[in-house]
Structure 1
């Protein structure tokens, strides 16, 4: 390769600055307005000629120096090329850096090695030549990508022969590509959440992040920057102590791992099931589990080992442990307290403290309980009921007046009346029996018993006795007896009917009309 066309003066200046002033090639190039690569080329040739010091020896005049540099060719060092695939896998470790890997590379190749900057450039160039699924650098145990396949599977009802479609849920670990798949009836909230729980059990641990798509079961309100997670899905993340970070809408590259995993499951599992008939979801999932084992143990083309071996080496040791308490599906929804201090959950009504009327609460609905929270504090717990239109009411949630009203029963009124006297008890019993429904007499009974707050029990009992004798059955009549003091006077004697004693032929008498 001929020397670059620079003057002898500039050539000598390169040698002076390098050996006399000990400047770097970049500094020399900036000083002389030449590129660092030109400086490096002439320094290489000078080293071949044995020039390693300044000033030059006397025999190096301009003519001999020019001829020697023209005859000398640049010799490239035989530099050992790093194993980029191994370096790419090493970088998936949480604490690994490219700087540390370069230092280890230099330690193994002390004589000939690349500089750190060139090492980084070569690694980035290698990554660009790989498939798009490898462009994201995923740390071990960090991300789990989840999605559904587009095609569905058929499940045949053995009794009717009816075919029902099943959705296929797919999850893949970012670092190892370890894949999980299962069939569910729907993409609804419960199937979506419970698929995550079964996936965590399959992995034997919990990743730091879960990356879903923006389907309705995961995201209540999509947004490029601040998506609003479904509260039930968020409650699952809280139970497993992980974080849900939805991919941006219409940005499939954010979850490229999931896209590739879905494609692989469709090709290597669903395609093999196309000619098979399954008569229950359970048998279908057992068959998917068999094919999943083969898929994860299949050797990878561009990385060493299989998904299973990569998972055991990278992701499995870095996963967080599963919680000690198994997850139970808990639906979370926002409810408003009605004026009767009840909230409606699945057409059944549950009471809450009456002070929360018109407030918004968060209902956690599990298989057996309905738990109600206000600003993160639990305010009520009820057994879950399937009776539509019915009420579950706790006495401590009611206002004092309502609580006392609920304690009104015929037996309770009769017990209160018996404490005043027998005649009072008899009159109250007659009031309760005078209506088709005892509740219609509660107010009259209460008014009768309230007379004992103003008058002594013996007077009230005497007034009730006079009312029974005279046929009075209203509270106003008994009150009038007390106000006029008639309870203290003897009852009026019955007057004899003197007309009945008269006998005369012109008086027909009442028997005539019979």
Structure 2
């Protein structure tokens, strides 16, 4: 070309002229080798066929072809290139969120015991903009994993269409190449927020390379800067992690004129689906039988919850969150209770049978109210009985007496009964049998005796009192 012709070439063209690349690709033998390469690969896939045999067959047909060392070298290079098959993927905004736990842990010190408590680090990143979120949680259990995922969605301010986790138990019950079984709690969360779960390949999880790269950057930009700091609570640790996370997202990326945060707000923020009005609360499930006392038993809390007594003996499904317990029988919701942890019973009056309710609701006021509804005299007698109770005598001591007195009111004439109540109250006779004896005595007396009007006593030799012996 001459010096003038070379100076007229653009730099890339001139560079290519000066450096044509691998000379092997200018060799005429390479063209024939590449044409035969699919046959070489097919032969090597057969049993007992070696590279030596393939080369010998090649040399027999092409005596001027590559010698053994060159043939083996070019064959190995092309086989490596075929296995790689990598390409730059285009990620749609708002489509995928990759989540994982970092392999290394962070820790804080218990201020009371001085114990060093290790925690797990949850990391997530949006595929399109590589916008990251980090949160430390106590463990990789389902509750902590779903809590961290919920916080991530709140951090992003929206919901992606797909969440891509690793095959950890908190997300995947049974790993499978084609149709994995998703953890029921994870599935419920997806239904609540409107995303689907597509786990990575169980054997070769190459899909999560984005979050793996993010984890490596988190090691350099967060872990390394926290190694000489001491924390005394998980909240304090997370505050420090969040400060460094913001700095990481606001750091300009290499070979790009913007930060992850700028890219997220410009491209992906508006592509995310709107968060639901209420956050997700993890649900758990339990299959139980309604016991003879009309309650179901939640073993993890060691607590009993009531259901309608007509369902005794039926199989029930309990679905419970951190705050609520719902009981279902044959697909119908039959009870809702506030969750209580610790041994005990939670019962609703409408679930109990009438006889059970009458027994459990007994009290002094209960019996006073019942008596007042049928007889003012009986009400006064029962009030006097409870008022006269000794300090160490509980109200329950008189419940059966009250039941007997109410039964007597139904069995006897009201005029005799009310007068008997007045007599018993005047003389502090607070037993059912004494009340019944007074009623019978009044009934045995003839009307001429006028017992019901209580006349003044006449002088009689058998009458007591000093007035009769003056």
TM-score (ref. length: structure 1): 0.56
Quickly say closer, same or farther: Cα 1:230–1:479, change in 2 above 3 A: farther
Matches within 5 A, 1:273-288: 273-288=226-241
Kept in 2, the 8 Å contact 1:144–1:173? The answer is yes
Quickly say closer, same or farther: Cα 1:390–1:478, change in 2 above 3 A: same
Give the superposition deviation at 1:226: 4.8
- The aligned counterpart of 2:444 is 486
Matched, 1:239 2:192: yes
Matched, 1:341 2:267: no
- How far apart are the structure 2 equivalents of 1:283 and 1:474? 68
Question: Gaps (5+ residues) in structure 1?
Answer: 1-36, 38-124, 498-514
- The aligned counterpart of 2:268 is 315
Instruction: Determine which structure has more spread, i.e. the larger CA radius of gyration.
Output: 1
- How far apart are the structure 1 equivalents of 2:264 and 2:82? 23
- How far apart are the structure 1 equivalents of 2:461 and 2:105? 99
- How far apart are the structure 2 equivalents of 1:332 and 1:199? 22
- How far apart are the structure 2 equivalents of 1:488 and 1:371? 65
- The aligned counterpart of 1:393 is 347
Kept in 2, the 8 Å contact 1:252–1:259? The answer is no
Kept in 2, the 8 Å contact 1:169–1:182? The answer is yes
Matches within 5 A, 1:60-459: 129-130=85-86, 134=88, 138-157=91-110, 162-219=115-172, 221-224=173-176, 225-231=179-185, 233-247=186-200, 249-253=202-206, 255-293=208-246, 295-296=248-249, 297-299=251-253, 307-308=260-261, 311-312=264-265, 314-325=267-278, 327=279, 329-334=281-286, 336=288, 337-344=290-297, 346-357=301-312, 358-366=314-322, 369-374=323-328, 379-383=334-338, 385=340, 388-417=342-371, 419-420=374-375, 422=377, 426=381, 436-459=393-416
- How far apart are the structure 1 equivalents of 2:437 and 2:180? 71
Alignment coverage as a number of residue pairs: 365
Question: Gaps (5+ residues) in structure 2?
Answer: 1-34, 36-80, 452-456, 464-470
- The aligned counterpart of 2:74 is none
CA RMSD of aligned residues (A): 4.6
- How far apart are the structure 1 equivalents of 2:156 and 2:379? 76
Kept in 1, the 8 Å contact 2:377–2:421? The answer is no
Give the superposition deviation at 1:141: 1.6
Give the superposition deviation at 1:398: 1.9
Kept in 1, the 8 Å contact 2:385–2:430? The answer is no
Give the superposition deviation at 1:144: 1.1
TM-score (ref. length: structure 2): 0.61
Larger displacement relative to structure 2 (421-430 or 337-346)? 421-430
